[in-house]
């Protein structure tokens, strides 16, 4: 398939994004604009020098700069602008449904009110629903490098807004911070009606995926690359139809894989795993949804059937109701049929 033809096909696919950290969509231009508005001096003298710093060897190096960027977000308007910029970008890429993560502790730990953060994000999501026809779910993440006690404080802070929050997740530095560290807060979150997901098996071992499933009772695994190390786990993922939200360009940038051709998504599809593709932190990793689809399809030589399966899988793994899922999946099938 020609590159231009593949790009065109990818652009037209109706897509769902299920693995996106809103703070990770912070483009350098917007970061400078908000820093200026809030009279905050960044450690970089230009947009270009900041972009050069967006080169990482591992997850921790990325997180270090991710947290520096987040420091400029202070007011509700800042969180609104950040979220709205992401939503208009993905709208241009035919993303029709998003389930986005936000990291309240990144902000509350520096004295920003939980209400300030969520009001800005939620207002942008509501506007996108009205004006761009993008449906959404909102997922609050606990930072795993902090204590479970800290996570409990975040859970408490979230309760006045629980009608806006659909679920909780677990992210940040994976190695040395296993899912088992957060068993109690996940149990408590479920009691409040939150759905459960967790990052596992990105840099951490396959055991972390088992822990996320058995100890945290998650309904979806974020990343999950390492699942192929364990045939019994693969069988379970298939039997229970547990979605994996994979992020190919993120994996490449953070050296989870050395080159995109090594990405396991095609192998996962062939085994019947509910594998899906997303952007993770697109401002930092060189691509939003279309770039992730395109680069992966090109490197792995994916055919239109595989591309269609990836798009369908994302709606299947989403938290949409069955009627909305069916509607979107029918749109995906109609689109691919129209290509023949």
Residue with tokens 């068993």: 183
Whether 260 and 295 have beta carbons less than 8 Å apart is answered as yes
User: Which residues are marked as active site?
Assistant: 202
pLDDT (0 to 100) of residue 43: 85
pLDDT (0 to 100) of residue 64: 84
Give the residue extent of every domain in the chain: 3-339
**Mean pLDDT computed over 116-128:** 98
pLDDT (0 to 100) of residue 50: 86
Please write down the HEC assignment for all residues of 232-282. HHHHHHHHCCCEEEECHHHHHHCCCCCCHHHCCHHHHHHCCCEEEECCECH
Q: What is the mean pLDDT of the chain?
A: 96
Superfamily of the domain at 3-339: Metal-dependent hydrolases (3.20.20.140)
Whether 157 and 114 have beta carbons less than 8 Å apart is answered as yes
- Contacts of residue 263, defined as CB under 8 A and 6 or more positions apart, other chains included, come to 246, 248, 251, 252, 257, 296, 299, 300
pTM for the structure as a whole? 0.97
| Residue 42 CB neighbour total at 10 angstroms | 18
How many percent of the chain have pLDDT more than 70?
Answer: 100
What pLDDT, in 10s, does the model give residues 43-102?
888 889 888 888 888 878 888 888 888 999 999 999 999 999 999 999 999 999 999 999
**pLDDT band per the 50, 70, 90 thresholds, residue 319:** very high
Decide if pLDDT at 1 tops 80.
no
Decide if pLDDT at 173 tops 90.
no
pLDDT (0 to 100) of residue 59: 79
Whether 23 and 69 have beta carbons less than 8 Å apart is answered as yes
């Amino acid at each position: 398939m020609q590159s231009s033809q593949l790009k065109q096909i990818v652009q037209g696919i109706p897509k769902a994004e299920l693995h996106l950290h809103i703070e990770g969509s912070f483009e350098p231009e917007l970061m400078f604009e908000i820093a200026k508005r809030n009279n905050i001096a960044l450690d970089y003298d230009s947009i270009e020098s900041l972009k050069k710093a967006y080169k990482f060897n591992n997850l921790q190096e990325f997180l270090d700069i991710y947290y520096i960027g987040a420091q400029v977000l202070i007011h509700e308007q800042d969180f609104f602008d950040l979220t709205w910029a992401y939503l208009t970008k993905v709208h241009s890429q035919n993303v029709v449904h998003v389930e986005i993560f936000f990291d309240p502790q990144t902000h509350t730990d520096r004295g920003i009110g939980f209400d300030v953060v969520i009001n800005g994000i939620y207002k942008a999501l509501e506007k996108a629903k009205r004006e761009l026809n993008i449906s959404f779910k909102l997922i609050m993440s606990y930072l795993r490098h902090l204590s479970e006690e800290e996570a409990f404080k975040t859970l408490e802070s979230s309760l006045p807004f629980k009608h806006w929050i659909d679920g909780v997740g677990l992210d940040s530095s994976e190695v040395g911070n296993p899912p088992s560290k957060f068993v109690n807060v996940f149990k408590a979150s479920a009691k409040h009606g939150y759905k459960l997901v967790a990052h596992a098996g990105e840099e951490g071992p396959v055991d972390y995926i088992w822990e996320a499933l058995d100890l945290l009772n998650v309904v979806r695994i974020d990343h999950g690359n390492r699942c192929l190390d364990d045939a019994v786990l693969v069988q379970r993922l298939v039997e229970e139809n547990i979605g994996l939200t994979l992020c190919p360009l993120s994996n490449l940038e953070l050296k989870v894989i050395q080159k995109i051709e090594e990405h396991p998504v095609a192998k996962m599809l062939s085994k019947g795993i509910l594998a899906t593709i997303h952007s993770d932190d697109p401002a930092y990793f060189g691509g939003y949804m279309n770039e992730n689809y395109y680069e992966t399809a090109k490197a792995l030589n994916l055919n239109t059937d595989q591309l269609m399966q990836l798009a369908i899988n994302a709606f299947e793994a989403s938290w949409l109701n069955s009627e909305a899922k069916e509607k979107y999946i029918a749109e995906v099938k109609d689109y691919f049929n129209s290509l023949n």
